[in-house]
Structure formats: structure tokens, C-alpha cells
Structure 1
Amino acid sequence: MSLPFNIKSAGSRFGVDDPMSDDTGMFNLSRTERYVAFGACFVIGLVLSIVGTILIFSGSMAAFAVCYSLGNLVSLFGMGFLVGFKRQLKMATAPVRLTAFLIYIALLVVTFITAFTLKIGVLCLILAICQFCALAWYSASYVPFGRKMIKGLCGTCARAI
């Protein structure tokens, strides 16, 4: 699938590369196959997260932590199909995203520890919400003005309260 104009050559003048270049990555997938793989990962991740959220009400903290966190990880993994896994890791550790990425990973670990050792449902739920917020903040760094929109939305909500 080719675009009607050459993003890579136009982008190089502006210092921007095409995130969906024709580089097939380590799985040797076409652009369409990469979109399908991303979509599948996103849907699987969403389903796992929803199942995990439902499981918290059953009192199974370990199952909740595994499903919810695995769902987030599968969704995040799916982004690798779009931009390439090596590039995604490089972009995740860029200074603009590093703090959010590390906080997200730390919250994943703490959620597992809390679910398997402390087994406190309310704390697991709070950690899951924080995990979601960290992932949203991390993901917003990929969207032009994404973090600015989140800040504006939070400011509007705070003023409404």
C-alpha cells in the first residue's frame, strides 16, 4: 500500500520520519498485516482488561491483576506492529516519555505485588486506575498536543467541581 505522496522524503525535510514506513520489521509483515496485528492486539488487550475489571468484583485479586495488566501490556505490544518493536522501545525511553513509561512499569509491578501478597481489593483498584492513567499519559505523548489536551480536560473538570 503506497501513499499518494512520499512522507519519508517530505518528513526528512522537517525532521519527522514516517512511523509506518515500508520497513516490515522482524515479522516480515505487510502494512495491512501490521494494521490487522495492531487491531487484534488492541481488541485482545481491551477484552482482557474488561475481564480483569469484572474479576475484581469476584474477589480474586490475583486474577484481576493478571488479566488487567496483561490486557494493558498486550495493547501496548500492539503498538510495536505499527512503529516496529525496536523503534517503540527507543521511543519509549526518549526523555519526553521515559518518566511516564517507568511509572507505568512500576505500577504494573506494584499491582501484581499487591494482588498476590496483600490481596486488598480497593488498593488493587486504585493501582489499576493509576496504571491506566500512566498508560494514557504515556500514549498521549505520541499524539500531537495529546498531553496538552489531557491537561486542559483535567483543568476543566477541576474547575467544574
Structure 2
Amino acid sequence: MDKLRRVLSGREDNEELGLTAQVLDGSSLSFSTRVKWFVICFAGGILCSILGSALLFLPGSGIKLFAVFYTLGNIAALSSTCFLMGPLKQLKRMFEPTRLIATIIMLLCFVLTLCAVFWWHKKGLAIIFCILQFLAMTWYSISYIPFARDAVMKCFTTCLN
């Protein structure tokens, strides 16, 4: 709707942007379609994570399947918000100063989980990185809720004292 208003008022400032920025910024999806795909992608991510947790108990390659499905599930859940706000805005918000550390730890844990399973063959380390993935995703997610991090920190300091 904003794009239509800009075009009709003669303020089309997208000409200064490159082609890539225009494609990433503009989308022809309606709001209801964006919400539907957000739900589909988020639910798929949760399903992958649950499936990965169930596959953990398979003998042999269960830990590998767990690490892959759990990591893919978290990536899908994280990517689902691209449908709501667009990929470029999502990346900008991920790397804002308030989320920078959580984002880096989360992305690092994604990579380290897969490295621990496929290259280092350390099952315990893979599970530790999956736990760290969960904690980093949680910390990252609550950063979108105003004062939620402060409340969590206050709760933990109260419990520890």
C-alpha cells in the first residue's frame, strides 16, 4: 500500500536502489499470504526440531540425524520471519547491536553443531551445541519483546541470590 502511495504521489525513491535491493525489498505477496507462509515455515521448523529430537534415540546415526534435523528446524523457524518483514529487513534487525551477540552465537552454534557431528565425530559436543542453539534462539527471540531480557535477567539474579 505504501508503494502505491509513493508511486501515485510521484515519490518513487526505489530508482536509486540497485536491482538486488529492489527485489529483496519489494514483494508482491499479500499480507495473508505472508502470514500463511510464515506459519507453514515456522511449523515446519518446529516439526523438524521435534523429529530430530525423536531421531536422537536411534542406534547408530541417530545423533547425526538429530543434529541435522534440529539445526534445519531452527533455521526454518528463524527464516519464517522473512515472510513477515522481508529478508533484507530481517537481516538488518538480526544484526542490530541489541541482537548482535545472540545472532552470532546462534549462527556459530548452527555451524559448530554440524561440525561436531560430521567432522569431529563428537556426539556429546553436538548435544552441547544443540543446547546452546536453543538458548541462543531463546535469547534472540525475547529480544523482540520490550524489556523481556531485563525481566529474565532479574528473575535469574533473584533466583541465584
TM above 0.5, one fold? yes
Matched to 2:49, the amino acid is S
Matched to 2:104, the amino acid is L
Residue 48 of structure 1 contacts residue 71 of structure 1 at CA under 8 Å; is this kept in 2? yes
1:27 deviation in Å? Answer: 4.3
Count matched residues.
137
Identify the residue that residue 131 of structure 2 maps to in structure 1.
129
Identify the residue that residue 141 of structure 1 maps to in structure 2.
143
Provide the C-alpha distance between the structure 2 equivalents of 1:134 and 1:115, rounded to a whole number of angstroms.
19
For the residue of structure 2 that corresponds to 1:96, the secondary structure is coil
1:78 deviation in Å? Answer: 0.4
Identify the residue that residue 106 of structure 2 maps to in structure 1.
104
1:96 deviation in Å? Answer: 1.1
**Which of 64, 71, 74 is equivalent to 2:73?**
71
TM-score, scaled to structure 1 = 0.77
Provide the C-alpha distance between the structure 2 equivalents of 1:110 and 1:87, rounded to a whole number of angstroms.
26
- RMSD value, Cα: 2.0
Identify the residue that residue 90 of structure 2 maps to in structure 1.
88
1:154 deviation in Å? Answer: 2.9
TM-score, scaled to structure 2 = 0.77
1:150 deviation in Å? Answer: 2.4
1:141 deviation in Å? Answer: 1.0
Provide the C-alpha distance between the structure 1 equivalents of 2:42 and 2:149, rounded to a whole number of angstroms.
21
**Which of 95, 117, 120 is equivalent to 1:118?**
120
Provide the C-alpha distance between the structure 2 equivalents of 1:155 and 1:121, rounded to a whole number of angstroms.
32
Which runs of structure 2 are paired with 1:24-39 in the superposition (5 Å)? 26-39=26-39
Identify the residue that residue 55 of structure 2 maps to in structure 1.
55
Residue 52 of structure 1 contacts residue 63 of structure 1 at CA under 8 Å; is this kept in 2? yes
Any unmatched runs of 5+ in structure 1? 1-23
Any unmatched runs of 5+ in structure 2? 1-23
Residue 53 of structure 1 contacts residue 64 of structure 1 at CA under 8 Å; is this kept in 2? yes
What CA deviation, in whole Å up to 9, does each residue of 1:70-119 have, x standing for no partner?
Answer: 00000000011111111010111111111110111111111000011233
Alpha carbons of structure 1 residues 54 and 120: separation in structure 2 relative to 1, 3 Å: farther
Identify the residue that residue 151 of structure 1 maps to in structure 2.
153
